[in-house]
Amino acid sequence: MSTTLPDSLVLKRDALLQLLASYGRVAVAFSAGVDSTVVAQAAQLACGDAAIAATAVSDSLAAGELEEARELAQRIGIRHEILHTTEFSNPDYLRNSGDRCYHCKTELYTQLEGMTARLGVDVIVNGANVDDQGDYRPGMQAAKEHTVRSPLIEVGLTKAEVRELARHWGLPVWDKPASPCLSSRIAYGLEVTPERVRRVDAAEQFLRQRLEIRELRVRHEAHDLARIEVAIEELPRLVAPDVRAEITDHLRSLGFRFVTIDLDGFRSGSLNAALPLVTLEAKGFDYGA
């Protein structure tokens, strides 16, 4: 479905294509989210066969995401590479302090750098957009350290504009909810383990299918407590007696001991409220960049 773009977005689209073409041979860190999908589409349009999309696979990738990445890459017509990252072997990642994402992105970008010669790549790019600059994202520090470019930021594209551009290009993920890695559901300070992320994944998959809700989170708190976040208007559905009993029974069967519903509703990045930002600043993490 192609849509007409406003003149201001046409200028940014053209600037994005020109910028990517100037990079030469490009590898896109491709998660199948709307941002990286738009970058992959733009890279294919600008660079043709000189563009590659690379998807990282580990225990933190939710079920179905790799299949979606493959389908999108085929739809776009971009060469697709799979990287098996090993962040779960890094004690600093497993410790799950506020810089967990930094260690994950460092692993990804290090692997991509090691493959540049084989892939014939000059520049690695990610899908960070302008709105990401105001959020807590230690992965941006890893991008700086590995000279990873952020073309959406460089041409000034916001999240809303990225979605509009995705819709214009007929990309089916144009309205896909944000889907950060499963490890982001584990409360800071609680060790990230394959068992815990699989438990979260199974719980979210069940809730999406049972309730037909696209955007939700199951936060894994200490003491095997599941904290469910859905939009405020969806809360009454979860406490209907038959639904409530089914949800609690199923999540307990997955290994959760306690099941709660967050009355504040869905909030992207809600676990960040517990972060000791001053400590992170002291470590030199430029999370506002």
Q: What is the pLDDT of residues 181-197, one digit of tens each?
A: 999 999 999 999 999 99
Closest to 29 in 3D by CA, of 8, 46, 47, 54: 54
What is the pLDDT at residue 1? 58
Q: Write down the pTM of the prediction.
A: 0.90
| pLDDT interval class at 269 (50, 70, 90) | low
Does 279 have pLDDT greater than 60? no
Query: What are the beta bridge partners of residue 56?
Result: 83
| pLDDT interval class at 2 (50, 70, 90) | low
For the chain, which residues make up each domain, given as ranges?
7-168, 182-267
- Least trusted range by pLDDT, from 102-106, 159-163, 281-285: 281-285
| pLDDT interval class at 288 (50, 70, 90) | very low
Class of domain 7-168: alpha beta
**Whole-angstrom Cα Rg for the chain:** 19
Q: What is the pLDDT of residues 149-185, one digit of tens each?
A: 999 999 999 999 999 999 999 999 999 998 889 999 9
Contact criterion met (CB below 8 Å) for 134 and 288 = yes
Region of 96 on the Ramachandran plot (φ > 0 left; ψ -120 to 50 alpha; else beta)? left
